[in-house]
Structure 1
Amino acid sequence: MLKALKSGATSYYPVFMFTVSSLIMLSLFRLGYFILFDERILAATDLPNYFLLGIRADIIQVGYFTLIPLLLFPLLNSSRFHHTWVRFSLLWFAFCFSVMLFMEVSTPAFLLQYDSRPNRLFFEYLLYPKEVIGTLWQGFRGWLLIGGITLTITIYSLTIVTKHLSHHLRARTPHHGVAWLLWPFIVVITLFGIRSTLAHRPANPAFFAVTSDAMVNSLLINSSYSVAYAAYNLKHEAKANRVYGDLSDEKVIQIITSEPHLQHAQFPLKDYPTVHFQPATSQREQPLNIVIILEESLGATFVESLGGIAATPNLEQLKQHGWWFENLYATGIRSVRGIEAVVSGFLPSRARSTVKLSNSQRYFYTIADTLKREGYHTEFIYGGEAHFDNMAAFFSGNGFSTIIDQDDFENPLFVGSWGVSDQDLFKKLHERLNAAEQRHEPTFTLAFSSSNHEPFEFPDGEIGPLEQPQHTVNNAVKYADHALGEFFSQAMQSNYWQNTLFLVVADHDTRVYGDELIPLSKFHIPGVILGADISPHKITAVASQIDLAPTLLSLAGVSAYLPTLGQDLSRSDIAPANRAMMQFGDNFGWLEGKDFTVLTTDKETHEFVYDRAKKRQLPSNKPLSPKRIERIQAHAMASSVLYEKRVYYVPKAMP
């Protein structure tokens, strides 16, 4: 039996050898990077984590390379085709090993230049070989020579080894029946290695974003994986929103920066055309801490005063203490859209959220980046896995110093499919704010809830259910509201209350559906700003999630350069913009007062009148002027223009 097993495994020797040699090679390079950046790596993580997570990431890439010959194996598992299998697998694995080696040899120079492993820039710059070769020769001549010599020696050695192994394996007679029995087990193990986790989503680069140092996070994966993932993301970065009009980039910028609420702003940077200085309306000796509580799927559907069911009594109470938004609208229907709009103030798009896209993983604006430059400690707290939806990678690369997720909660009250309960989340938030207050350290925190997420799990006995069975969206919302109320009861009695500005806002409503081009009522969300010296106030004008970041900064007393296009709603000298925008599939919506315009990808324009009381859209006979159409098209196209040009950022060298 042992002899037959050994004979059957003969066919898989190329797979085993490739896997082991690749993991050793990638680990040795990772050791080299540690020697180069040891202080920075040790400041961000410990050595066992650095290497073990690295091996885990390497297994993913190696698994992808081995999967192709493994899936072809059943077609070649016979005496007749055995020699073909041996030759093909050895040549394939020699090629894959060379690719990985080439990428690793190329990495040190890229790291020194861009503070990251090779990514999208790596293959973008292949379009400019003259400039790239000149740069490498002038600035990284040593690395270029070492890399070239190493690659040449390795390819020559692989040629000799492949020839020797081919001759050796072809001389052996494998047991094809046992090889058949081994095949499904090897394939399953390979697939598990590629997935790397039993969580809701397979591992991705964000899964390995475990530190606040984006460069160290990039070292945890390998360069082949980094470049392959960036290439994969290209399909989501097509000129998604340019389909709505034929305006030039210059015209788009000219229109969006000419909005009435930006009429007094100056835009001093040609290369960053939306960057302008926003003076704070609240003059404070010491700017306030800022806390954003992003509530999962808590739309107006559940808020009685906004026309929903009575599932959020605590949120209704909070509006008595601060600024309450009666007509606030989300930009999209996914959490990453809410993050993108609330934290970055970015306009909606048909493309995937900038939280996930490769060009926005570094040097993309967030409110955290502004506040970090002002001396704030910036952190993200989430009860689930922070790598989900690429959040950890996006945040760590764009201004967040600390990321706290499920693994950082000790003895949580409750753990469900999506992480610890909202009560655990708010307990952690309360602890962190207390600690920062004792250190007299200005703090910005983004706390993202997760209990109101299907399958709607939460601790028993905490609420009186609205309905049976217990695990429904209405009960989950009531629990989320209960946890929120508990937190603010504590917060209002805490020392940090008078120094802290809070925003409670939904990322989006729950499941969005409807037969309209855009089901506008499902984009309606609650929002309230409270804390410190904020007095009760109702904002009845139409507002968008993109207006929240500039308003928060102004109320907190932070004057700064911003690239955002939202309105500072705290300014009393400028009339409210009274507009909101949203993306639903391929349709872009623009709500201004009661007038609702929808753009479709065929460049058609649809006009409605929105009846808020009845939540109905009625056809409008009001003709659209060419100027209004152009204005809406410009805002629809702006996200693609700003993202593609990589200009939605405030450069460091500002006055």
Structure 2
Amino acid sequence: MWAATSNNTLWQTLALFKPVTYFAGATLALLTCCRLLLAGLYAERVESAINWLDFIVLGVRADLIQVGYFTLIPLLVLSPLSMVLHKSIAQRWWRRLWTVWFLICALVLWFMEVSTPAFLAQYDTRPNRLFFEYLAYPKEVFSTLIHGFAGWLFTGIASTLVFVYLSYRWYKKSEANFQPRVIKRRYLIAVIPVLIVTTLFGIRSTLAHRPANPAFFAVTSDAMVNSLILNSTYTLEYALYNLKHEAQANRVYGKLTDEEIINEVRKVPYLANLEFPFADYPTVHYQSASAKRKIPLNIVVILEESLGATFVESLGGMPLTPNLERLKKQGWWFENLYATGTRSVRGIEAVISGFLPTRARSTVKLSGSQRQFFTLADTLSREGYNTEFIYGGQAHFDNMASFFIGNGFQSVIDQDDYESPQFVGSWGVSDQDLLNKLHQRLSQADNSAPQFTLAFTSSNHEPFEFPDGEITLAEQPKQTVNNAVKYADHALGEFFAKAQKSDYWQNTLFLVVADHDTRVYGDELIPVSKFHIPGLILGADIKPKTISAISSQIDLPPTLLSLAGISAYLPTVGQDLSQPDVQPENRAMMQFGDNYGWLEQHINGPRLTLLQVDKSVKQFCYQSSPQSLALIEDRPQPEHIRKVQAFAMLPSILYQQRAYFVPRQ
């Protein structure tokens, strides 16, 4: 009789933890179903990357980590309440708090999963830091969603409201049916530690030296499939967690000391013979201009939104940019130019600051780079230039205005400064309005001082809005990326037709370059072809020339300054490609999520060296047409690995030490 009563009391004690069982079972089922639905949308890529059983098992394992986090919190917080659970009122509050907590957690999991398809379609990965970064710009984000993903938006809102309603009904019913139980404190003291230890083991997910993290689940060569193995709440939480490590984001790629990193970078041929006179600014060196000019040229950078090589016929893309194809015959055309990243701020960071890419947010957004951070504008303002940023949208977007004003730009023109624009879309005025403003500003400039202007286009941005009647559409419906690219090229052609007839043409150097390609995705750990972008330097006395060497956006700032006739101290480790007696380094670097790629020309063709978090270094043969990465079984030479690791780790050192700046003398 006593044994039966004891067992009954034990079961009643365990029944207090029914919410844990219900939550774990329901959420694991929910996340698995959502994962399989997403995998069904990309079945071909999943099947080519991993077998379905491993995909499901690894996914459940990743979900157990998230369920463990949500379970551990109330276990630790509510454990003190267990001392009074022999009282019915304490039991009611115990159950109520557990239930409300788990319903909130389930709602978060549901919301993140239902938000994933649209994000996945746009960025080829589960929600990451961009998911919360862009919440600061509701107008632009909502417009993009309503025009490009309206179906998913309304499905997500409606299903979330239904989820909240059903949860509320279930909660009220469970409250009405609650019955207090006979509880023994000694059983609670035994059960709670077991649950805590089990939950901690589920969170750790491995007996290895380090607990599981996203890199642990990166088991395929397709970064998107690796993200599908996880769940969206976990990927978002990990992105938030990584914010505190931003200053050292790329330290994960090697174990080199600061001194070893600096020495490795300085060893590359185009830097090897230079002097670095500032101990606190280890990459600052003096660059002597290749072009000797009595009066330096104006410099204009036209940063084209999402204009990747995908849309340029001579670079292996579609025939959507006839004006760019015509203009390339009049200047320096970069055949093998690569972006450093996949977002606009990364393109700004590389083209305007020559800063190397990292896993962290772009320095355009980071707090430590809002002042005393190198930009072309800072250097040129010291040389007597007037410096200006012209944008068609709101300049506060992506923190651009703050970064620019704090680092050498003397004026900022944005959407509020256009009188009677021809067309205004979700992202601001049209490219024609922007480039007309640029032409007006250059025509009216005071010739007593040279000009530096950055103009950033936006028409080729989802939802791809531009004025009617300007182009013959490439396809139907109107608002597609191909039509937007064709319009952007049309606006560019109109601008240069006017510029070449203007008074400022003969003393102005123009750079036309993309910030990145649109929707960078692919079934490789780094989709190299989607980093390929066009670049063109023309104007003044520039003679036609084709740059066939592999080059990076970070090579553009020193090259521009040199061609314009500016000799100056610079911290950038990009190469001045205008120097006549220096061979191009023939390399480019690119950051894709947590993966760092180093593309370099080799005697047998381009090779991609890949650095991953907590993974061994890999090397691939790269073929651009059709794109393919073939794994090289032999490990890269140690000297090569050290060089790549040094360049990958360098930006974290420079940012952390506030050393990417030329000290004022």
Q: Secondary structure at the match of 1:199?
A: helix
Paired residues for 1:329-340 under 5 Å: 329-340=338-349
Residue 414 of structure 1 corresponds to which residue in structure 2? 423
For the 8 Å contact 1:300–1:307, the answer to whether it is kept is yes
Residue 266 of structure 1 corresponds to which residue in structure 2? 275
Match of 2:526 among 505, 510, 518: 518
Paired residues for 1:130-529 under 5 Å: 199-200=139-140, 235=244, 237-436=246-445, 438-529=446-537
For the 8 Å contact 2:618–2:635, the answer to whether it is kept is no
Q: Distance in 2 between matches of 1:411 and 1:568?
A: 41
Q: Secondary structure at the match of 2:317?
A: coil
Q: Secondary structure at the match of 1:326?
A: strand
Q: Distance in 2 between matches of 1:639 and 1:444?
A: 26
Q: Secondary structure at the match of 1:452?
A: coil
Residue 598 of structure 1 corresponds to which residue in structure 2? 610
Q: Deviations over 1:342-368 (max 9, x none)?
A: 000000000000000000000000011
Match of 2:568 among 560, 565, 587: 560
Q: Distance in 2 between matches of 1:494 and 1:233?
A: 50
Q: Distance in 1 between matches of 2:259 and 2:351?
A: 26
Per the alignment, do residues 198 and 609 of structure 1 end up closer, same or farther by CA in structure 2, a change over 3 Å counting?
A: closer
For the 8 Å contact 1:518–1:584, the answer to whether it is kept is yes
Alpha-carbon shift at residue 258 of structure 1 (Å): 1.6
Q: Secondary structure at the match of 1:610?
A: strand
Per the alignment, do residues 253 and 472 of structure 1 end up closer, same or farther by CA in structure 2, a change over 3 Å counting?
A: same
Q: Distance in 2 between matches of 1:373 and 1:235?
A: 34
AA aligned opposite 1:631: K
For the 8 Å contact 2:296–2:564, the answer to whether it is kept is yes
Q: Deviations over 1:482-524 (max 9, x none)?
A: 0000000000000000000000000000001111110000000
Alpha-carbon shift at residue 441 of structure 1 (Å): 2.4
Paired residues for 1:611-630 under 5 Å: 611-630=623-642
Q: Distance in 1 between matches of 2:271 and 2:136?
A: 48
Q: Distance in 2 between matches of 1:201 and 1:399?
A: 29
The runs of 5 or more residues in structure 1 that have no matched partner are 1-194, 203-230
Residue 173 of structure 2 corresponds to which residue in structure 1? none
Q: Distance in 1 between matches of 2:510 and 2:241?
A: 38
Q: Distance in 2 between matches of 1:611 and 1:346?
A: 27
Per the alignment, do residues 278 and 197 of structure 1 end up closer, same or farther by CA in structure 2, a change over 3 Å counting?
A: closer
Alpha-carbon shift at residue 623 of structure 1 (Å): 3.7
Q: Distance in 1 between matches of 2:546 and 2:463?
A: 34
AA aligned opposite 2:262: I
Q: Distance in 1 between matches of 2:415 and 2:299?
A: 22
Per the alignment, do residues 427 and 236 of structure 1 end up closer, same or farther by CA in structure 2, a change over 3 Å counting?
A: farther
Structure 2 residue 547 is matched with structure 1 residue 539: yes
Q: Distance in 1 between matches of 2:530 and 2:495?
A: 27
AA aligned opposite 2:285: H
Per the alignment, do residues 462 and 244 of structure 1 end up closer, same or farther by CA in structure 2, a change over 3 Å counting?
A: same
Residue 52 of structure 1 corresponds to which residue in structure 2? none
Alpha-carbon shift at residue 431 of structure 1 (Å): 0.5
Alpha-carbon shift at residue 640 of structure 1 (Å): 0.6
Q: Distance in 1 between matches of 2:245 and 2:432?
A: 36
Match of 1:636 among 633, 637, 648: 648
Q: Deviations over 1:409-441 (max 9, x none)?
A: 1000000000000000000000000111x5432
Q: Distance in 2 between matches of 1:587 and 1:446?
A: 30
AA aligned opposite 2:455: A
AA aligned opposite 2:577: L
Per the alignment, do residues 476 and 572 of structure 1 end up closer, same or farther by CA in structure 2, a change over 3 Å counting?
A: same
Alpha-carbon shift at residue 198 of structure 1 (Å): 5.9
Per the alignment, do residues 234 and 333 of structure 1 end up closer, same or farther by CA in structure 2, a change over 3 Å counting?
A: closer
Q: Distance in 1 between matches of 2:341 and 2:420?
A: 35
AA aligned opposite 2:619: E
For the 8 Å contact 1:325–1:540, the answer to whether it is kept is yes
Q: Deviations over 1:145-184 (max 9, x none)?
A: xxxxxxxxxxxxxxxxxxxxxxxxxxxxxxxxxxxxxxxx
Residue 587 of structure 2 corresponds to which residue in structure 1? 579
Give me the CA root mean square deviation.
1.6
Q: Distance in 2 between matches of 1:405 and 1:651?
A: 30
For the 8 Å contact 1:236–1:352, the answer to whether it is kept is no
For the 8 Å contact 1:578–1:592, the answer to whether it is kept is yes
The count of corresponding residues between Structure 1 and Structure 2 is: 430
For the 8 Å contact 1:392–1:403, the answer to whether it is kept is yes
The runs of 5 or more residues in structure 2 that have no matched partner are 1-134, 143-239
Alpha-carbon shift at residue 233 of structure 1 (Å): 10
Q: Distance in 2 between matches of 1:464 and 1:631?
A: 49
Alpha-carbon shift at residue 200 of structure 1 (Å): 2.7
Q: Secondary structure at the match of 1:333?
A: coil
Q: Distance in 1 between matches of 2:280 and 2:401?
A: 28
Q: Distance in 1 between matches of 2:281 and 2:651?
A: 14
Per the alignment, do residues 512 and 201 of structure 1 end up closer, same or farther by CA in structure 2, a change over 3 Å counting?
A: closer
AA aligned opposite 2:564: A
AA aligned opposite 1:199: K
Q: Distance in 2 between matches of 1:388 and 1:232?
A: 23
AA aligned opposite 1:200: E
AA aligned opposite 2:404: F
Q: Secondary structure at the match of 1:266?
A: coil
Alpha-carbon shift at residue 197 of structure 1 (Å): 8.1
Per the alignment, do residues 196 and 619 of structure 1 end up closer, same or farther by CA in structure 2, a change over 3 Å counting?
A: closer
Q: Deviations over 1:438-488 (max 9, x none)?
A: 543200000000000000000000000000000000000000000000000
Question: TM-score, normalization: structure 2?
Answer: 0.63
Per the alignment, do residues 468 and 201 of structure 1 end up closer, same or farther by CA in structure 2, a change over 3 Å counting?
A: closer
Alpha-carbon shift at residue 314 of structure 1 (Å): 0.4
State the identity as a percent: 68
Q: Secondary structure at the match of 1:611?
A: strand
Per the alignment, do residues 622 and 314 of structure 1 end up closer, same or farther by CA in structure 2, a change over 3 Å counting?
A: farther
